[in-house]
Structure 1
Amino acid sequence: MDHAFFGQPRGLSTLFFTEMWERFSYYGMRAILLYYMYYSVSKGGLGFSQSTAMSVMSIYGSMVYLSSVLGGYMSDRIWGARRTVFYGGILIMFGHIALSIPAGSLTLFISILLIVLGTGLLKPNVSEMVGGLYQPGDPRRDSGFTIFVFGINLGSLIAPYLVGWLGMSYNFHLGFSLAAIGMFFGLIQYYRGSRKYLSKDSLYPTDPLEPGDFRKLMIEVTVGGIGLILVLALMAVMGALNITNFISLLSAIAILTPVVYFTIFLTSKKVTPTERSRVWAYVVLFIAAAVFWAIEEQGSSVLALFAADQVNNNLGFLHIQPAWYQSLNPLFILIYTPLFAALWARLGRKQPSSPAKFATGMLFAGASFFLMVVPVTLFGAGTKVSPLWLVGSWALVEIGEMLISPIGLSVTTKLAPRAFRSQMMSMWFLADSAGQAVNAQIVKFYTPGNEANYFGWVGIVSVVVGIILFALVKPVKRLMDGVN
């Protein structure tokens, strides 16, 4: 058994660093993108309203994860996981290069398209290949995914400081250029490491297209494309084709897509009765995960705006760039990862089930927003408060992430039907997509004077979902049919 990388297979090292550099590029860009969009043109920004910028941030994130459906399909049916990841990395790099060009909103939208497609190709297949490093029943699987998530957050930790400092202190486009360089480094090490340490099985699709399938696929793509064009044309005729309504359309697509996919999995003749039962269990976990990500992902929109407008960032000896707060997410993950890895290793087979971990994570997510009610209520929305309130909020929500994110990645690979392995991995990212699609609509309610109500109601929803999931732990475990 291969134990070359901290007791894990050597291939985990290749995938660890690939995802680390991809997250460096993505989270570096994301740390400054909100400010780039709503800063005035005279300050190097695009001059969007804050509400529009937050909605764009949310739907951008939603589309990034929605495109994982494409990545799963291309891997399962056409390219195989290894090549799909490489092609995705190339698109991501060119997306950041486009954003580094100072040509206004045009390059912003070109960049969004490239990064959305590239991340969709790369992200689910990297995670699927991590699962493929382990044989069924290997007790190292959960700890391997925990180490993998550590790599994700290592890149995410460094990026906001470097890209944020360069972008906000000097020039936004210099910051975006640094993000492109990060993805280039990731591509180089992936190309070299994948040839040495990844299974040759990753070069081939698990469910390749049959001769007649390609024609059917082209028809479906054509019909879908024509349908979208007709919807946009109708909106234009009605005078409703604007950025707000387009975001609403994308939100609806992101929420309906997982419904369609679950229907396909549950009705497919390729899925056995045992696999179908496990998919039903996954539906419950998926809904909880979507609510969690709706809260966690507001760090790049609502909390980023709070950091810029309502936090005292001048500490005398230090001026804190608002973009730097984006490092709190990965910082706490890095702090918590060894603690949780040790905890799960110590508990072994006595550790809580995946549904119980999810339910507990939802309570911590709700508590993170309840904490944000306190400074706004005590001091008022017009008073700049201590940075420690944001630090405390991220500290709580990241406990929730440790109970949901690595566990969700692991349980997805264990519950996936064999015929839809990569596409099932995409479902995990569709939970994030659906959560951020909801965010694109609800962030509009985060307005001056309404901050306390906003944080309070979102926190209540999270806690209620957690309580319901606790009540469903035993039924869900039965549906998982032997998977913990």
Structure 2
Amino acid sequence: MTELHDTVAAARASESSTDAQTPPERKRAGYPRGLASLAFTEFWERFSFYGLQAVLIFYMLYAVDQGGLALDAAIASSLVGAYGGSVYLAQILGSWMGDRVLAPKWLVFWGGVVITLGHLALGFIPGYGGLAIGLGLIVLGTGALKTNITSIVGMLLEDDPSRRDAGFSYFYMAINIGATVGALATGLAQSAVGFQLAFTLASIGMVAALIQYCFAMRRLPADADVVRNPIPLRNAWRPAAVVVLVVAAIAVAWVTGVLNEANMASVTGLVIVAAAVILFVAMFSSRSVTSAEKTRLAGFVPIFIASAVFFGLLFQVFSFLPILISDDRVDLQIGDWSMPPAWVLSVGALSAVLITPVFARLWSRRDQADPNPSGKFAFGLVQLGLGHVFLLVVVMTSGSVIALLPVLVYVVVVGTSEVLVGPIGLSLATRIAPQAFRSQVVALIFLTLAAGSTLAGLLGQLYTAIGDTAYLTTISALGIGLGAVLWLFRSRIDGAVAFGLPSH
């Protein structure tokens, strides 16, 4: 076993030596060439993911004669929240595997293969069976792919901190373009033909992502092909045993009724909180983490909490709004044409795509005064809260049916707020991560998406119980209130996350 560890260590030392002799990678427009390839790969992966996301809750809510499953709105919201939370919760397993089992480069590839199989299952296996198998495979595959592709982007931008936020903003723009085009394509397919065609289109997007990634692999940095902290072979049985126990526990909970469709989002939320606590405790207690790194982690904690709440409020577009549309509360007619419901959801991603280059230029101009990470998060939260205030006013002044235009304005205001949070969180995580826990800190950012997805599902259930006015008032207060608190403490937070790092 020591021989295996020594062999891996020697290989890593050899690669480091080789890297030192390798000329710097050619760049385009000041960015590494591999960044464009990874962005295009992520475009197609997000095409498939958000193409599915746009029609998934409608698939659950629509009547059987419309091709749906006719689920109760509260149960559908719980399932979508649990699915979204599980997708990002799986990032912890994926990030751990990227550090201990398989190099990030290959986890991205095999994760893409598993996601493709999941979309095919949704497209060709009808009913509840296809839903369970398909979503399960997508959860596992996305867990392997997402944190590791983001870690590779961080490696590409490691030597150019002045362009880090801008580079991640362009990478995030590819995500939003893929999300927009995917939602438009599957939304149109569902309206014209049915849900199965929409699911099949999502699988085609994932195949395109795999093809693009195969071409991109040769341009990736050498570190992407290295397992940083390989697990000794003699201890390999331990994580395998944990996986078996977790699967068995879930099966027993489901059979006994402890876990069911109605409480799935709540249970997923508790697991996410426990996972976050365990990750933070592991890093704060590790001897491999320096005191400066622990100071930066302490500053990251309020950013983590704010990010989780932000995404919970943002993801209302995938829970509360579809319920509103499926209840015929929104007039989708524009003349003689009816807008596909999934297209309403894609407007937010489209608006974020259009505004991202503006913010990317702002972040790259370091001579201009701009807010630090917590300030950007604060602005994003307040904007999100004000978007819900606007919708609250619209709902209170409308009749039983809401016009399409103000709903689209709401989606634009809410959707563009993500530019102030999403790419900044990714950039910050890769910059402040302890050397021994790089992938795990990236996993924490995706864990905020898990918490957000689950929170959105729970809030969707809350909406079915308390109605429009109380619900939107609660969402508005959360966004504006947390944004104000973050702004008040921004200097202390930003000082902590920048402690010991070179200025940029």
Shorter-chain-normalised TM-score: which range? Answer: over 0.9
Letter in 1 for 2:338: H
Letter in 2 for 1:275: E
Residues 90 and 118, structure 1, Cα contact 8 Å, conserved in 2: yes
Tell me the residue number matched to 1:18: 41
Letter in 2 for 1:79: L
Instruction: Write the mapping of 1:316-465 to structure 2, written as runs, cut at 5 A.
Output: 316-348=335-367, 350-380=369-399, 382=400, 384-447=401-464, 450-465=467-482
Q: Which residue, out of 86, 89, 100, partners 2:109?
A: 86
Structure-1 separation of matches of 2:58 and 2:251: 31
Structure-1 separation of matches of 2:249 and 2:350: 44
Residues 88 and 122, structure 1, Cα contact 8 Å, conserved in 2: yes
**Are 1:206 and 2:228 counterparts?**
yes
Deviations 1:261-305 (A, max 9, x none): 111111111111111111111111000000100011111111223
Tell me the residue number matched to 1:283: 301
Letter in 1 for 2:220: L
RMSD: 1.9
Deviates more, 1:137-146 or 1:73-82: 137-146
Instruction: Write the mapping of 1:50-129 to structure 2, written as runs, cut at 5 A.
Output: 50-129=73-152
Residues 157 and 167, structure 2, Cα contact 8 Å, conserved in 1: no
Gap change, CA 1:220 and 1:58, over 3 Å in 2 = closer
Gap change, CA 1:3 and 1:359, over 3 Å in 2 = farther
Residues 292 and 500, structure 2, Cα contact 8 Å, conserved in 1: no
Tell me the residue number matched to 2:290: 272
Residue 4 (structure 1) shift: 3.5
Gap change, CA 1:318 and 1:461, over 3 Å in 2 = same
Give the gaps of 5 or more residues in structure 1: none
Residue 53 (structure 1) shift: 1.2
Structure-1 separation of matches of 2:193 and 2:52: 15
Gap change, CA 1:54 and 1:220, over 3 Å in 2 = closer
Gap change, CA 1:202 and 1:455, over 3 Å in 2 = same
Residue 117 (structure 1) shift: 0.6
Deviates more, 1:353-362 or 1:390-399: 390-399
Residue 38 (structure 1) shift: 1.3
Deviations 1:314-355 (A, max 9, x none): 111421011101211221111111111122233446322111
Residue 394 (structure 1) shift: 2.2
Structure-2 separation of matches of 1:342 and 1:102: 46
Work out the number of aligned pairs and report it.
Answer: 477
Tell me the residue number matched to 2:162: 139
Instruction: Write the mapping of 1:156-235 to structure 2, written as runs, cut at 5 A.
Output: 156-195=179-218, 197-229=219-251, 231-232=253-254
Tell me the residue number matched to 2:317: 299
Deviates more, 1:431-440 or 1:184-193: 431-440
Structure-2 separation of matches of 1:158 and 1:462: 28
Tell me the residue number matched to 1:31: 54
Residues 3 and 10, structure 1, Cα contact 8 Å, conserved in 2: yes
Residue 260 (structure 1) shift: 1.3
Residue 242 (structure 1) shift: 2.8
Structure-2 separation of matches of 1:273 and 1:25: 42
Deviates more, 1:327-336 or 1:407-416: 327-336
**Are 1:153 and 2:170 counterparts?**
no
TM value normalised by structure 1:
0.94
Structure-2 separation of matches of 1:218 and 1:125: 20
Letter in 2 for 1:437: T
Structure-2 separation of matches of 1:141 and 1:458: 32
Deviations 1:185-219 (A, max 9, x none): 11011012212x10122111111112443233334
Gap change, CA 1:3 and 1:399, over 3 Å in 2 = farther
Structure-2 separation of matches of 1:230 and 1:183: 33
Gap change, CA 1:225 and 1:107, over 3 Å in 2 = closer
Letter in 2 for 1:286: F
Letter in 2 for 1:199: P
